[in-house]
């Protein structure tokens, strides 16, 4: 570990060099210690010049570099790649781990292929092109495609290199088609990787009507850098969810769950279940188990019985949830988010697993053995938390090498947050008491109770509000001291505990 004194934002700071570079500085009256999004530095020192008033000179490898700090206070490092339309979903290509397949769709938009050709540039007397700086500035400020008529859709699928943002392949959908789902599937009968895209034609959002639905099957060629259309399969409903399942394709068509296999001229229908409540929005599979997310009725656990070639619903949720995003935690647990801004974890009871193993006849998972027209078994709610914004995506991942696994979510307003699991009962008790004291010290501006907000739709359960606990450093010294005495700690120990939790993820 090497320490260097630097100037950051007009105040003295510290640069710590190790396997990662860390910068300690003061931002908005708060002490920050964040890792730098840069290569490993061997030596560094303060550097000041007319061009770079607050910089650092550093050595990495055999190069000498002059650095400047930007975007202070930001937790995440981000890189932006421009697209033509609004990105809806994406998936990774197994043949090329750095390549992403992205579907883009915009409503009430004019497709690029239907835009009029640009007029030729005006020429001056000397034969040179005249550049209209105002028009160029307006073009740069233009966001999204030109506005079209109601019911008009613009859509495409793009293969993009995730490292540098280069577009490898681009396919536009014509005839007023809109793409809503995609999945990378390796079919058993060929052993090759395919990209399946679900589209609809002439769709109106409310009431939901379509002219036709299609499943485009593309063969991934050239090492995952290009797509080759194999065939196009017509379906009767909106293919909103796709998932790979035992070398086949699992498709959610409205309220129909269907299994497809690869054919020579189109996808072949193998098995289906039409008994789902409303509209399938998410699909996950593990082994013979399929977890279906409904637009209004939360999760439904489905068992695929291979000998009978049947899809049977054996467990569902007791709460009506409007699922917008979901991911699998383990074989029995699902984390989901609804459109009202709630995150929850639903788990299958342990005894249900034993019933499936000890019931070779399948009598306990028959649809007519349910309770109140539902499944025979019910999910148990493990945790619930109200974020306050509609959640667009969920995933379980580690943000840094060697870090703990966390549930990362993104919201419709552009927010990124994560849920970190506690590793000891001591940490749970500490943060529960800290949160209780912070609710009394940092009351909301509008006078509403913090617990009532986090329990807006469902009671908050087994989740500590980290944003509230982080405000401990903003309290006055007397407030920090009174809370730390109640916790039998010193203020520095409380701040160190908060920093340790933060460093588990970042």
pLDDT tens digit sequence for 373-431 = 678 889 999 999 999 999 999 999 988 777 889 999 999 998 899 999 998 999 999 99
- The burial of 265, by beta-carbon neighbours within 10 Å (0-12 exposed, 13-18 middle, 19 or more buried), is given as exposed
Look up tokens 């569902």; give the residue.
Answer: 316
- The burial of 431, by beta-carbon neighbours within 10 Å (0-12 exposed, 13-18 middle, 19 or more buried), is given as buried
Checking if the pLDDT of 133 tops 70, the result is: no
User: What's this model's pTM, rounded to 2 decimal places?
Assistant: 0.83
- Partners of 383 in the beta sheet? 345
pLDDT tens digit sequence for 434-451 = 999 999 988 888 888 999
Q: Average the pLDDT over 480-495 and give the result.
A: 92
| Per-residue tokens: 445 | 């501006």
pLDDT tens digit sequence for 146-190 = 888 888 999 999 999 988 889 999 999 989 999 999 999 999 989
Rounded to whole angstroms, the Cα distance separating 32 from 16 reads: 13
Rounded to whole angstroms, the Cα distance separating 457 from 21 reads: 42
Checking if the pLDDT of 75 tops 80, the result is: no
Checking if the pLDDT of 141 tops 50, the result is: no
Q: Are 26 and 33 in contact (CB under 8 A)?
A: no
Q: Are 194 and 216 in contact (CB under 8 A)?
A: no
Q: Where do the domains of the chain lie?
A: 2-68, 82-113+144-274, 423-505
Q: Are 267 and 259 in contact (CB under 8 A)?
A: no
Question: Which residues contact residue 234 at a Cβ distance below 8 angstroms, ignoring those fewer than 6 apart?
Answer: 212, 213, 214, 266
Q: Average the pLDDT over 43-59 and give the result.
A: 84
Checking if the pLDDT of 296 tops 80, the result is: yes
Span 82-113+144-274 CATH architecture: 7 Propeller (2.130)
**What are the φ and ψ backbone dihedral angles of 468, each rounded to 5 degrees?**
-70, -40
In this structure, whether the domain defined by 423-505 belongs to CATH 1.10.150.910 is answered with: yes
**Same CATH fold assignment for domains 82-113+144-274 and 423-505:** no
The mean pLDDT value of the chain amounts to: 86
């Amino acid at each position: 570990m090497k320490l260097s004194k630097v100037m950051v934002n007009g105040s003295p700071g510290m640069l710590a060099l190790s396997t990662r570079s860390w910068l300690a500085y003061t931002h908005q009256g708060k002490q920050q210690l964040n890792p730098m999004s840069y290569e490993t530095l061997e030596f560094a020192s303060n550097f000041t010049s007319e061009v770079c008033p607050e910089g650092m000179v550093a050595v990495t490898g055999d190069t000498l570099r002059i650095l400047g700090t930007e975007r202070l206070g930001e937790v995440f490092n981000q890189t932006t790649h421009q697209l033509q339309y609004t990105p809806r979903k994406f998936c990774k290509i197994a043949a090329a781990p750095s390549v992403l397949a992205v579907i883009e769709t915009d409503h009430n938009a004019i497709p690029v292929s239907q835009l009029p050709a640009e007029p030729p540039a005006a020429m001056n007397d000397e034969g040179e092109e005249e550049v209209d700086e105002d028009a160029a500035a307006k073009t740069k400020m233009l966001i999204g495609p030109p506005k079209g008529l109601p019911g008009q859709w613009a859509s495409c699928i793009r293969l993009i290199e995730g490292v540098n943002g280069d577009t490898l392949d681009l396919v536009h959908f014509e005839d007023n088609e809109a793409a809503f789902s995609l999945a990378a599937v390796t079919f058993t009968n060929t052993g090759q990787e395919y990209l399946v895209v679900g589209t609809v034609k002439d769709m109106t959002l409310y009431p939901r009507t379509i002219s036709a639905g299609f499943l485009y099957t593309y063969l991934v060629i050239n090492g995952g850098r290009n797509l080759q259309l194999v065939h196009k399969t017509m379906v009767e409903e909106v293919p909103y969810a796709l998932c790979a399942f035992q070398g086949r394709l699992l498709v959610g068509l409205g309220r129909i769950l269907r299994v497809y296999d690869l054919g020579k001229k189109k996808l072949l229908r193998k098995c289906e279940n039409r008994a789902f409540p409303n509209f399938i929005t998410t699909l996950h599979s593990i082994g013979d188990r399929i977890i279906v997310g409904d637009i209004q009725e939360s999760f439904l656990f489905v068992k695929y019985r291979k000998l009978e070639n049947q899809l049977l619903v054996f467990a569902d949720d007791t709460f009506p949830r409007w699922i917008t995003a979901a991911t699998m935690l383990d074989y029995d647990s699902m984390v989901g988010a609804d459109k009202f801004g709630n995150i929850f974890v639903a788990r299958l009871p342990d005894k249900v697993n034993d019933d499936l193993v000890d019931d070779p006849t399948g009598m306990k998972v028959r649809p007519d053995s349910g309770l109140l027209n539902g499944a025979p078994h019910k999910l148990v709610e493990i945790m619930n938390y109200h974020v306050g914004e509609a959640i667009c995506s969920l995933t379980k991942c580690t943000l840094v090498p060697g870090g703990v696994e966390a549930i990362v979510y993104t919201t419709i307003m552009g927010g990124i947050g994560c849920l970190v699991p506690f590793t000891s009962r001591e940490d749970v008790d500490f943060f529960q008491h800290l949160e209780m004291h912070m609710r009394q010290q940092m009351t909301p501006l509008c006078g509403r109770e913090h617990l009532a907000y986090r329990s807006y739709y469902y009671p908050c359960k087994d989740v500590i509000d980290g944003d509230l606990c982080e405000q401990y450093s903003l309290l006055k010294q007397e407030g920090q001291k009174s809370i730390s005495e109640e916790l039998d700690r010193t203020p520095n120990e409380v701040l160190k505990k908060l920093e340790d939790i933060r460093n588990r993820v970042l």
